[in-house]
Structure 1
Amino acid sequence: MPFFKNDPLANDEYEVIGEAFWQTLEIPGEEQILKIYGYKYSKMHALVFHSICTVLCGVPYIALLYYPKYNRFKYVKCSLKSAEKICVTDSDGLFYLAQIDEMDLNLSNHRENKLRYFIYQHNRYIWLSDQGAFVNVLALNEKLTICMLMENLTGLNKRQQNELLKLYGGNSVEVKVMSYWTIFINEVFNPFYLFQVFSIVLWSLDEYYQYATCVFILSTASCVTALCQTKQMSIKIHKMAGGTSAFTVTVLRPTRSGREECVVNASRLVPGDVLVIPSDGCVMPCDAVILTGSCIVNESMLTGESVPVMKGPPCLSSEVYSTEVHKRHTLYAGTHVIQTRFYGNNQVLAKVVRTGFYTAKGELIKSILYPKEVNFQFYDDAVRFVTFMFSIAALGMAYSVWLYVLRGSSVSTIMLRTLDIITIVVPPALPAAMTAGVVYSQRRLRKNKIFCVSPPRIVICGKLQVMCFDKTGTLTEDGLDFYSVIPSNEGEKFGKQVVNVTGLPATSPLLQALASCHSLTSIQGELKGDPLDLKMFEFTRWVLEEPGPENTRYDNLTPSIVKPVSPTESTQNLDNYDPYTMEIPYEIGLLRRFHFSSSQQSMGVIARVLGQPQMVYFVKGAPEKISGMCAPETLPENFSTVLNEYTSNGFRVIGLAHKKLDRKMKWVDAQRIKRDTLECDMVFLGFLVMQNSLKTETTQIIRELHMANMRLVMVTGDNIMTAMSVARGCFMVQPQQKIVLITAVPQANDAQPPLTMEVVGESGPPKLPMDSYVIALEGKTWQAIRTYYPDLMPTVLKKGMVFGRFGPDQKTQLITALQDEELTVGMCGDGANDCGALKAAHVGISLSEADASVAAPFTSQEQNITCVKLLVLEGRCALSTSFAIFKYMALYSLIQFFSILILYKHHSTLGNNQFLYIDLVLTTLLALSLGRACPGPRLTAALPPVSLVSPVSLAQLLLQVLLVLMVQISAIYVLHGQPWFKSIEGGPNIENIMCWDNTVIFITTSFQYLIMACVYANGWPFRDRFYANYSMVLSLVTQTSFVILLLMCPWSWLAHFMDIKMLDPTDPDQKTFRTYLMLIPFIHLILAFTIEMTLSNSEKFSKLSKLIRRRCRDKEDASVEGACPLWAPPAHVC
């Protein structure tokens, strides 16, 4: 086949593993391993399974919606080769049962006629007999080289396309909009709603019709709201995904005489098809590598990068193609091709490499449909606590059964009272209340133009420990200001710096390099491109002209030219030259561009001066990279000195070089020559010095993050000296801290490189205490440490702050390594070269103009790091609020639990209206008001608690529970000690509601709900002051006034409605008792606040936790110093 060198389904490098029962798979683009198991349908197992479901009234069928792993009970294990179903489990423990499908497939040289495959999360896995395993369909092209891609320009014939369409599936990222019925079924069979249905049925049987009706109405409203929100989200994702079936594309088909154009539906594109890109641009339906010509592309939809990017074909090489590595040659699905450039009658062609959900756009949609599981200790603790609450409910149920059996109550009464305990201890409103804080935080973030596609990560922002930043465009401005150029005197020292480059002669190779070595293009008469290129070209005062469609047909014309705007020395001898009427003939044609890549750290252009007999190759890039391309004799003596002088002062320095090419080289040769052939024995021209100023907000935000006790890290592709200067300038590195620069010294034959360590700005080896220094290193040193010196990794990860010359993969490696140290890591970047790192981080923030980016779960439209501060503030607020609401809901349940058991003992219970008031009016409003708390105004060094089972949290909760119980018992004890009190007599199935026991417990517990809300409303400094939460203050004032009214002087109709007894205002004993009932909540309030504040600020607890942390830190420091004790160089460090 044209697209494959060999049979795509045959791979002799893999050893046949036999008829295995299971295997592992890797999800493309994610560090997640799947385990898959083979299963076959068993009639006997299925019969037993359905019989059990029938006996249990179909309950297991509902359970299967949330526990699908039990579906496998209908099947038996078998080999993967003969499996009918595939059981997929991921590293998060999630389970999926996939159907294996078969279809006929007749590829050339293919030895099998059947294709067996299954689909998991829109990824297709096919069975390869040669390997005896399933592989992702992407693996078929994982060793495809650039040469293999570029060698066939005729495309696929119709038969090949049809067969590959079976193999890869259609080119569509269409997401179906879920119907209301599907959403309704999913919502109704949610455990939360099922529990509410159970509660409503139970309350109806117990004649709690009012409360059951209210809960039913509220549940219905909640369900409808969730249904509408889910529908809207489904529509939004559907629109974002779009569709490919609505438009057609032009592809090439091979014929006997060559090739022909053919129009096909975009949904039928397959890898190997050759696309014809329209001259007026288009929206890409797939990922494709450019074969001929060039394109100007707007990729803001995916990366958020608003600057159009110029892309062209890759150089011929045996390098394995990668959509990430070769992104400057790849057109991504969903991006907009604005313009195309081509030569003569040639077309702009691109070969399809990925389709459907395997494209960059498809990956974005999959990241939204299947977000990465967030493992957070708080949620795990909450689940454990709810389980613990069920055990408490079991004890309460046992007590209720014992109590009612002793009374001789009927079975129905015993069951109703016993089951009622479950709805009290585990309140149905708990899940909704728990998410309130996150929902309000997300709304506030949206107002600040920060968009989130994974709301649970907002809470994780509250426990961030390490925050990594890209430099350019994140900490510093996108644009660079031209400072000067420093010309080189070949082999001698640098010449004087030149501030005004227009003073240089047009024939100067340095000026020619500045004017031609860029990726700029003209879009609707305006220059577009990299900000550095724009500034550089602007200061040359030259102009860029690109030929239009009418003159690209002539092969002797170059696609783009640059020329000065004033007369030059080279034009002085031209006959009849009039500088005021003639167009200046001095021009440089740009024949071929080699676009910048992070791995190459440079870009180049093949150019020719009009009238000159030979072409010239200009290159610019990282000075270290450029110096390696140049002949040693052309490098100035003070190369390193001058470079360090400028970079250490924060300037961005670019190296420039050129090389005259062979006079015999023609245009065709220039299009085919490899870059490696050009980039050797070049002549060094000098330095371009650019000034990259910090953004206005950077320094202040960095200071505030330091105050928040957060470790800050800079990871950039820029020069390490520039990065260290910027880190100093924005106070990321504190004034009292020294920077230790670790450098790997290159060795011949790729031998193990020794390491050198020096304190920047000082001489001699570093001998510093642990707290007074930070580490800086480059990407090559990072690679050397990972490969040869793994014992130094703990030191680097603990003290590393500035990482320069880091490629995209190395940025991801750093984030992952920090996470392996059990740190919560964030990353903030522009989403261009940082996609991998932003995805890998716990909290990835992309500075982008889009609402959602393929790069990160958070997207900020404000192009500065203020968003980091806002996210940390909101994260700490959401975390603190979630803790407060959970504790409040737990105590609300236990308050009602104790009150019900006390009333059961005294032949009473709460009335319907009392339940209605407590559960819907009182606690629900208070819980929602708690969630509306805004974040504190500033960041502090203190961190919110992250564990519900920490010693302090458990002690606080336990003491509050004991206090609640003591207060209720005290209130009943005081009541029973009154001379006017008479106990009630109840029968086996009779409960008295309007009695003194009920009234006292109802009034006392109503105050307790208010008291606990007051206690947990105080969340300073993570939440704003208590009085700033107006809804909370209003709720407390209103509810407290109402409860006091019920106690002091309720109207008769109100007392009757609330099922309470009225105190006689003329009876002095009852007046004294009323005073006691007011005094008890007041004492409870003081004691409750004392418990919270005392334990939170307890010196003993603080000393204990500090002692534990200190010991852990001492152990870590000891291990770090053991790796490099006092920075005395070990044997492998010189």
Structure 2
Amino acid sequence: MTVGRFYAQKRLKKKNIYCISPRSINVAGSIDCCCFDKTGTLTEEGLDMWGVVPKTVTNEFQMPIKQIERLPYGNFLFGMVTCHSITIVNGKLMGDPLDLKMFESTGWTLEDQKNVPDSQKYSLIHPTIVRQPRKEILHGESNIAESSVQRQSSIDDLLADVGLLNGETNNDHGIVREFPFTSNLQRMSVITRRLSGSNFNVYCKGSPEMMQQLCQPSTLPENYSQQLAFFAKRGYRVIAMAFKKLSSKMSYIKAQRLAREIVESDLEFLGFVVMENRLKPDTSKVIASLTNANIRTVMITGDNLLTAISVARDCGIVSSDQAVVTVNARKVLQKESHAYELYYTLDIGGCENVTKDLVNISDIISLQSSGANSIDGVCETENYQIFNGDISSLSSLSMTLPNSNSLTSVETCETWTHQDPELGVASCKHEKKCHRPTWRNNYRFAMIGRTWQIVRENFPNELKNFVVRGAIFARMSPDQKQALIIDLQQLDYCVAMCGDGANDCGALKVAHTGISLSETESAIASPFTSRNATIDCVPYVIKEGRAALVTSFGIFKYMAAYSMVQFISVMILYSIDSNLTDKQYLYVDLGLISVFAFFFGKTGAYVGPLAKQVPLNSLISLAPLASIILHLLVVVGFQMAGWYQLHQQDWFVAFKHSDEDHLGCYENYTMFAISSFQYIILAFIFSKGAPYRKPIWSNVPFCFSLVTNLAIVCYLVCYPSQWIRDFFQLVVPNNFRFRFWMLFYGAANFLVHVIVEIYVVDYLLFQKVQLNRERNMKKSQRKYMHVEYDLRCCKTWPSITQSCQAFDSSTLLTEIKPTYVEIRAEQNFDTPASQNNALNSFFEAESIQAIQTLPTVAECSLLSESEPTKLLLRDKQMRGSDANVIQIS
């Protein structure tokens, strides 16, 4: 029974897939649900820096900056170079790939304290120092050797250029303390100090959702959520950066004692760091192959929900004809009986020719169905009550959305709210007037980890619906990933989990088949580890698992049938006090059975696409049991037919038992000949090929053993030599016609066995009876099939009743108010000549090159004749009176 796993493990090793639990190979053959992590699994391990979106002092987003070297010296840049966990090992930067990409894009350098043992670095004030790029000033010449990309000038740079501030500011920072990143907190932070200063600053980065809660609301731009959605819906990974200035009285000792909750509170939002995470080349192809094989695919990630939805659509986890219903939860303060309510948002912006019904309601309402406690009750209820208000206007609007991935698509999302955790559904009392929207035929759920936890704790009746139809689970902690795998298993899914990080260890461990793409912590928890860091290994594992499973079933049936064939022939001979000779037993056991069993599992996995039907995984089922019983009936029939024909021959002499140890007789010859053919035939019949294994002729050793033993048996039956007769104690009839009858019985036996296995067992019993019963959602024994049946029958859940407009992304990055920079000089310009010199200094060739924040300066004038110390820089595109004014003293 283990020979199939043995050969499958060897074949997987050749593909750089290593297995530490061989029994998991057979389990992999039953996989019908695959869960994937996103970053490093579906997408590339390394992130590429797309750009940054800093915030202005007027609390608005700037235009994205893709050349990070152009960032002016300021808190945003200082956060990028300090807020990380990068260390130097053997002269190389080591750390999280995201941190490395972010730091390397700045051009800064990191210095670790050399010649200091690691055990003593805790006593250093600055164990790690980050230094700004140094300019190589050519002595004796006025020009400056700089990189081809010019850094944008900060306000301090502008003041330094006109001689109003010392331009030799040292921006090097020392990292005083680090709070590492954790999945539960979704953030990390550091306490730093500029080497040329004395104040301590806090820089914190993390998920935009978490940073939105930690930052002061007054520092968040009004379009914070829209800007985040703009990048997330395009699949970018967005990191929020924040800053906090500690008290000037803060000492080094106090900074080391500050609690993390205090450090990471009341932050000032600085902007977004946008990372580009591309799909791996094989991702879409593998997801498509799994989907075509009716294997469900699910994404479980710690990334942003909108980013996860975008990646899911790109790779095919959510197909182009599927709608995504986002599930959210919020607290209900006005009701004491329920702590939370669920509301649903429908996104069909990426679907092709999807028709939907919009139910327009004048006010935001909550719906509750009467007389229904479950989804089944909602489907059967016809009269519905409106909870907490009446519908003032209700109409049905049918519209067809074009195929568009743009965020400017009209009305691509809808929302519905219900407040009953036991009901979990809502409906409209005018349901009979509305036809079922097309999107209800094919939709998937998406939610974040917080919502998932609330559903598990407060909405147990709806949990199974989200498990069956859920495709995207974002912001999931390691414990939540593990819990989701368990919930899938409780609904009778056979689950595979594929991940690459430590956050996936729990899910990899509890899954039926865990596949790690990393050789670190996750490799210890998972039975399979692939050295090729792509999900292309998943179909290979499933194929080999199916091949091993079919091989195990085949060997089991063959060994069971072989025992029964020999038992039947021996029992027939026992009726006349005869038996098989010792040499005949030896040849059958060693020459036939052992050889066939050894080479049986060498047939490789099928090289074509994955079959849609999972192979049988239970021996105690209709098809395996019927196969063995029917084949045994054929065996008995042919052995009895040969026995009967032997007794009808004129030359037949019945065997007479004597005290001598001599068992050779005509009956022995007949039973040995027919049973030997049956051993070979059954080995061929039970060694199946497509769609789970390669054709039988691809297994050269097995085919060679079949042909060789068939020739040997034919030789023994037709014309054995005298020493062979003596060796096996064969009493061969002199009638050659009877010998050829034995060959005919072998050929006829083969044809009948083929018909029984292919037509009766595989076609009638397996496909027509067993498969139809398993595919019948009502009669299936799998729990998730019953849930899916209920969801397909229900036309009112989830009920979408509130329409919301999608924002226009075309103006998202362009509607930025112009900025006037007002500079208040530290010295008075007493004469017009000094005023003009100050003005003209801004327009000198070198100064204009340095002023990158205002690349199209067209006008510079005094703001007030009475206050000649105020200067105004006006951009060409700055028009209107609503411009922002920045005053700098």
User: The TM-score by the shorter chain falls in which range?
Assistant: 0.7 to 0.9
**What is the aligned partner in structure 2 of residue 754 from structure 1?**
341
Contact 2:455–2:462 (Cα < 8 Å) also in 1: yes
Matches within 5 A, 1:93-492: 434-490=1-57, 492=59
Match of 1:653 among 217, 225, 238: 238
Matched, 1:644 2:229: yes
* Closer/same/farther in 2, CA of residues 583 and 659 from structure 1, 3 Å limit: closer
* C-alpha distance in 2 between matches for 1:736 and 1:620: 37
Match of 1:945 in 2: 616
Aligned residue for 2:39, secondary structure, equals coil
- Structure 1 pair 890–978 and aligned structure 2 pair: CA distance change class (3 A): same
Q: Partner of 2:88 in structure 1?
A: 522
Q: Write the deviation string for residues 285-339 of structure 1: whole angstroms up to 9, x where unpaired.
A: xxxxxxxxxxxxxxxxxxxxxxxxxxxxxxxxxxxxxxxxxxxxxxxxxxxxxxx
1:763 aligns with 2:413: yes
Q: Deviations over 1:1061-1118 (max 9, x none)?
A: 2343xxxxx1221221111110110010100101244357534331453124674335
Kindly tell me: are residues 1123 and 743 of structure 1, through their superposed partners in 2, closer, same or farther at Cα, counting changes over 3 Å? farther
Counterpart for residue 666 of structure 2: 996
Partner residue of 2:517? 847
2:419 maps to none
User: Could you say which residue in structure 1 is the equivalent of 2:690?
Assistant: 1020
Partner of 1:611: 196
Residues 943-1092 of structure 1 mapped to structure 2, 5 A cutoff: 943-987=614-658, 992-1064=662-734, 1070-1092=735-757
Deviations 1:834-890 (CA, angstroms, capped at 9, x unpaired): 111111111112222369933222222221212211110111001100010011011
> CA separation of 1:858/1:573 partners in 2, compared to 1, >3 Å: closer, same or farther?
same
| One-letter code aligned to 1:997 | E
- After superposition, the Cα gap between the structure-2 partners of 1:490 and 1:806, relative to the gap in structure 1 and judged at 3 Å, is farther
Secondary structure class of the residue paired with 1:617: strand
In 2, Cα distance between equivalents of 1:550 and 1:863: 37
Given residue 186 of structure 2, which amino acid in structure 1 is its aligned partner?
Q
- Selected match of 1:547 from 101, 113, 122: 113
Q: 1:629-662, CA deviations, whole angstroms, 9 ceiling, x for partnerless residues?
A: 1111211111111111111111000001101110
1:483 aligned partner, one-letter code: W
Structure 1 counterpart of 2:572, which letter?
Answer: I
Q: How does 1:641-720 map to 2 (within 5 A)?
A: 641-720=226-305
Whether the aligned pair in 2 keeps the contact of 1:907 and 1:990 (CA below 8 Å) is no
Provide the C-alpha distance between the structure 2 equivalents of 1:522 and 1:957, rounded to a whole number of angstroms. Answer: 65
The question of whether the paired residues in 2 share the 8 Å contact of 1:565 and 1:584 is answered with: no
Which of 133, 142, 146 aligns to 1:565? It is: 133
Question: Cα gap change, 1:588/1:1033 in structure 2, threshold over 3 Å: closer, same or farther?
Answer: same
Q: Secondary structure at the match of 2:38?
A: coil
Q: Which residue of 1 aligns with 2:834?
A: none
Please state whether the residue corresponding to 1:833 is helix, strand or coil: helix
- Measured in 2, the distance between the counterparts of 1:674 and 1:592 equals 12
Query: Displacement of 1:586 after TM fit?
Result: 2.9
1:1100/1:918 CA distance change after superposition, 3 Å: closer
Q: Distance in 2 between matches of 1:700 and 1:531?
A: 25
Q: Give the drift of 1:763.
A: 2.6
Task: Please give the alpha-carbon distance, in whole angstroms, between the structure 2 residues aligned to 1:852 and 1:630.
Answer: 34
Give the counterpart of 2:595 among 917, 920, 925: 925
Say yes or no: does 1:1109 pair with 2:742: no
Q: What is the one-letter code of the residue matched to 1:793?
A: L
**Is contact 2:543–2:606 with CA below 8 Å preserved after alignment?**
yes
Segments of structure 1 that go 5 or more residues without pairing to the other structure are: 1-433, 1065-1069
Amino acid at match of 2:214: M
What is the rounded CA distance, in whole Å, between the counterparts of 1:462 and 1:924 in structure 2? 26
CA spacing shift, 1:553–1:600, aligned 2, 3 Å: closer
Per-residue CA deviation, residues 529-582 of structure 1 (Å, 9 max, x unaligned), is 0000000011101111111235978977511111211349779999xx9xxxx9
* Cross-structure match for 1:827: 497
- The structure with the larger Rg is 2
Shift of 1:470: 0.9
Distance 1:550 1:913, change over 3 A: closer
Pick closer, same or farther for the CA change 1:706–1:555 going to 2, 3 Å.
closer
User: Using CA pairs below 8 Å that are at least 6 residues apart, which structure has the higher relative contact order?
Assistant: 2
- The 8 Å contact of residues 440 and 795 in structure 2, kept in 1 or not, is answered as no
Counterpart-to-counterpart distance in 1, 2:726 and 2:660 = 19
When the two structures are superposed, what TM-score results if normalisation uses the length of structure 2? 0.74
Q: What are the superposed Cα offsets for residues 105-132 of structure 1, whole Å, 9 maximum, x if unpaired?
A: xxxxxxxxxxxxxxxxxxxxxxxxxxxx
- Confirm or deny: 8 A CA contact 2:688 2:696 kept in the other structure: yes
- Deviations 1:471-520 (Å, cap 9, x if unpaired)? 111111111000010111356431100011211222x1111111111111
SS in structure 1 of the partner of residue 690 of structure 2: coil
Q: After alignment, is 1043-1052 or 655-664 more displaced?
A: 1043-1052
Q: Distance in 1 between matches of 2:703 and 2:767?
A: 31
CA shift in 2, pair 1:773/1:573, >3 Å: closer
Give the Å deviation of 1:613.
Answer: 3.6
Q: SS in structure 2 opposite 1:472?
A: helix
Find the counterpart in structure 2 of residue 723 from structure 1: 308
Mark the runs of 5 or more structure 2 residues left unpaired by the alignment: 136-152, 350-411, 417-436, 803-889
Contact 1:490/1:684 (8 A) holds in 2: no
Distance 1:565 1:514, change over 3 A: same
Structure 2 CA distance for partners of 1:573 and 1:488, relative to 1, 3 Å: closer
SS at match of 1:458: helix
Count of residues in correspondence between the two structures? 686
Residue 991 of structure 1 deviates from its aligned partner by: 6.1
Whether the aligned pair in 2 keeps the contact of 1:451 and 1:851 (CA below 8 Å) is: no
Q: Which amino acid is 2:479 matched to?
A: D
What's the CA shift string for 1:878-906, capped at 9, x where partnerless? Answer: 11000100110111001100110111112
In the TM superposition, structure 1's runs of 4+ consecutive aligned residues that sit over 6 Å from their partners are 551-556, 568-574, 748-751, 1121-1124
Secondary structure of the 1:969 match is helix
In the alignment, the residues of structure 2 paired with residue 688 and residue 942 of structure 1 have an alpha-carbon distance, to the nearest angstrom, of 45
Rate the CA distance shift 1:1122–1:785 in 2: closer, same or farther, 3 A.
Answer: farther
- Give TM-score, length-normalised by structure 1: 0.58
Retained in 1: the 8 A contact 2:121–2:127? no
Q: Output the CA distance in 2 between the equivalents of 1:663 and 1:971.
A: 105
The separation in 2 between residues aligned to 1:763 and 1:583, in whole angstroms, is 53
Question: Structure 1 pair 550/1059, CA: closer, same or farther in 2 (3 Å)?
Answer: closer
Q: 1:555 to 1:899 in 2, by over 3 A?
A: closer
Deviation at 1:1056, TM superposition (A): 1.5
Mapped partners of 1:821, 1:1124: distance in 2: 23
**Residue 40 of structure 2: SS of its match in structure 1?**
coil
What SS does the corresponding residue of 2:275 show, helix, strand or coil?
Answer: strand
| SS at 2:736 equivalent | helix
Q: Specify the alignment match of 2:480 in structure 1.
A: 810
Distance in 2 of aligned mates of 1:951 and 1:680:
64
CA–CA separation in structure 2 for the residues paired with 1:1072 and 1:709: 55
Question: Equivalent residue for 2:806?
Answer: none
CA-CA distance at 1:779 after TM superposition: 0.4
Write the distance in 2 (CA, Å) between the matches of 1:872 and 1:610.
57
Task: State the SS of the aligned residue for 2:654.
Answer: coil
Q: Is the partner of 1:544 in helix, strand or coil?
A: strand
Letter paired with 1:489 = T
Distance 1:962 1:1102, change over 3 A: same
CA distance in structure 2 between the partners assigned to 1:976 and 1:1125 by the alignment: 75
Shift of 1:708: 2.0
Whole-angstrom distance in 1 between the partners of 2:249 and 2:169: 28
